[in-house]
Structure 1
Amino acid sequence: MQIVSYKSVIYTLLVILIWSFGWILTKVGLDHMPPFTFAALRFVIAAVLMLLIASIKYKCNHFSRKEWCIVILVGLTQTTLMFTFINIGMQNVSVGKASILIYSMPIWSAVLAYLFLQEPLKAKDILILCFGIIGVYFVFVPGISIESDIFGLFLLLLSAISWAVSNILVKKYFAKHNKFVLTTWQMLFGSVGLVALSFWFENPLGLSLNYIEWGILLYTSIFASVVAFTLWFSILPSLNVMSSTMPSLLIPFFVIMFDSIFLEQSVTVSVAMGLILIALSCILTALRK
């Protein structure tokens, strides 16, 4: 059994807190900035800084021509599409609900791994997935009153599926590659897509930010992206399977806590039940590995 060091535990919790608070600031930022421009600025800044780190620390590992095409596809699914769905979806959905749906990703990864990687699904695995799907139902259905809620929740569910698709691509084609370098390049390519969308649908050159909005942008790009990913990939090799899934399990809990403290959002019984069922499904999915 792999023993996880105290340093790894502390860094993991720090990353979880950074990412959790980042979702709160993302929700606030979407009230002040257009969704595509916000995402584009965030990931352009993050990708450039991470590219600088990668070029110094990892010499920017090279990919084959085929692998470059897959990296671009990962960028499309994990950055362009995922954060398009997130930033539009979160405009009409509480950040707590959003985080639960986004971090249901391991459930959809298991389904896609069965479909495309021929990973077996036994009866108990199907039962585990059912827990997660029922949890999504509890988050998705009760309390919906307007069409924008349904549309937002649907987009957030698509963001989790898009994230799962990128995970399958990484697992199939980049199992032995440096994940920091891969994340850097996919983020850079994905940010190009977001920049294109921002110019197509919005007017990014006319955007004027105050110091609060700059603070939100810099936190989400530097701390929630560069710092968090640097810490995460530095400790990931030392983590066991269960520990490596902790962000997916704990971030929604912290986001809901921060949401109630800073944005004064209440938590309904159905959302709490959905969170518990999805977390249980993610835990059991991790343990089956």
Structure 2
Amino acid sequence: MTTATYRASEIDGSDTLSFVAVLVGSTFLMGSSFVAGKILLQAGLPPLLLVGSRFLVAAVATLPIISLCRGGLIANLVPKSASVRDASLVAVIGLLQTTAVMGALNVAMEHISASMAAILLFTNPLFVALLGRIFLNETLGPWRMCGLLVGIAGVTLAIGVNSTRLAGRGTEVGELTGLLSAFCWASATILAKKGRLPFNSWSLSFWQMFVGSIAALAFGLATGEEWPKHLSLNHWMWFAWLAVPASTGSFGLWYLALAKGGATRASGFLFLAPLFAVLLSVLVFKQIPTWMQAAGGLLVGTAMWLMNRDSLTPYVPMGSRGREAENGS
């Protein structure tokens, strides 16, 4: 890892471009996971075993990258400065970020549409903004709050939810569970930022995916799920994309973004993930965007402008000026 001191006056345009590039890459990969996951679920893969297998492969895929980091594989996975407290916190992050988020999301989709479940999951930035203000002392001004609300409205339109999709029995359970998945994601985000763990972004990604995948596999097997006996080569290719770029890549870039820009501002870019999912659905499923989806895209763009109108430089959490901050290598 590299150590750098950041002050509000020292952050230039290149840092802004780097921050934006990391977030766009991460959200694009996140969006692609919805398409890949839908294809695999339609092929008969059970939800929990899919989650566990996906993130177990994704965790293993990070090991070559970690081995290239300064200090080598073992030194990065098990830093000498890591304590029992750090290990416990990493385990909690893994259970929240992987097992709880994806497990709750699948339960939600048993009661409500996938579109509504996605919308509820991506209310995560609101939870991050509120928790970040409480636990990280991050500034949340009226423009950023307005941007978050407009962004949620844009996601709702872009995905194309209507009253017919939301109707049906058990919607309350599904909606509450969907919100729970968003809260778990936000909690993991805050813990990763507040914990000041002695792991770089890739090592933290490995441990949270590894712990979460093992738990998901255990729950899946305990509930009687079974892996399909026959899958086509096309399905295996989709699984490979889901496990490596859409999981390893997106999570690694996500933690790097947290280090660069702050939890609240980074989470604001998560609104791009469902937008990318809609655009990719056009290519894969031949689903042409409706006027509602186009309007949603415009609102998402407006939300991005609102969240960043106060400054053209990356967000610096209150109290961090003049202090050294650890960044992923």
Deviates more, 1:130-139 or 1:203-212: 130-139
In structure 2, the CA distance between the partners of 1:120 and 1:14, relative to structure 1 (3 Å rule), is closer
Question: Unmatched 5+ residue regions in structure 2?
Answer: 1-10, 316-329
Work out whether 1:173 is the aligned partner of 2:198.
Answer: no
State the one-letter code of the partner of 1:220: L
Shift of 1:142: 3.7
Aligned partners of 2:92 and 2:207: how far apart in 1?
11
Q: Distance in 2 between matches of 1:276 and 1:209?
A: 39
Q: Which residue of 1 aligns with 2:42?
A: 31
1:46–1:258 CA distance, 2 compared to 1 (3 A): same
- Cα offset, 1:150, TM superposition: 5.5
Q: Does 1:70 align with 2:89?
A: yes
Q: How big is the shift at 1:227? A: 4.0
Contact 2:105 2:178 in 1 (8 A): yes
Residue 287 (structure 1) shift: 5.6
* TM-score scaled by length of structure 1: 0.78
In the TM superposition, residue 219 of structure 1 has moved relative to its aligned partner by: 1.2
1:257 aligns with 2:279: yes
- Is 1:44 aligned with 2:52? no
Task: Give a deviation string over 1:102-148, Cα, whole Å, max 9, x none.
Answer: 33322210011233344455555554555456667877774412236
> 1:29–1:213: 8 Å Cα contact kept in structure 2?
yes
Structure with greater Cα Rg: 2
Looking at structure 2, the residues matched to 170 and 12 of structure 1 have their Cα atoms a distance apart, in angstroms, of: 17
The question of 1:109 aligning with 2:128 is answered: yes
| 1:23 partner amino acid | F
Counterpart secondary structure, 1:255: helix
Q: SS at 1:4's partner residue?
A: helix
Query: How far off its partner does 1:168 sit?
Result: 0.7
Q: CA deviation at 1:260?
A: 3.5
Report how many residues are paired.
287
**Corresponding residue for residue 93 of structure 1:** 113
* Residue 159 (str. 1) matches residue 170 (str. 2): no
Mapped to 1, the partners of 2:19 and 2:147 lie a distance apart of 28
TM-score (norm 2): 0.69
CA shift in 2, pair 1:111/1:188, >3 Å: same
- RMSD of aligned Cα (Å): 3.9
Hey, what's the Cα distance between the residues in 2 that align with 1:136 and 1:257?
12
CA distance in structure 1 between the partners assigned to 2:21 and 2:142 by the alignment: 36
Residue 15 of structure 1 and its aligned partner are, at CA, apart by 4.7
Identity of aligned residues (%): 24
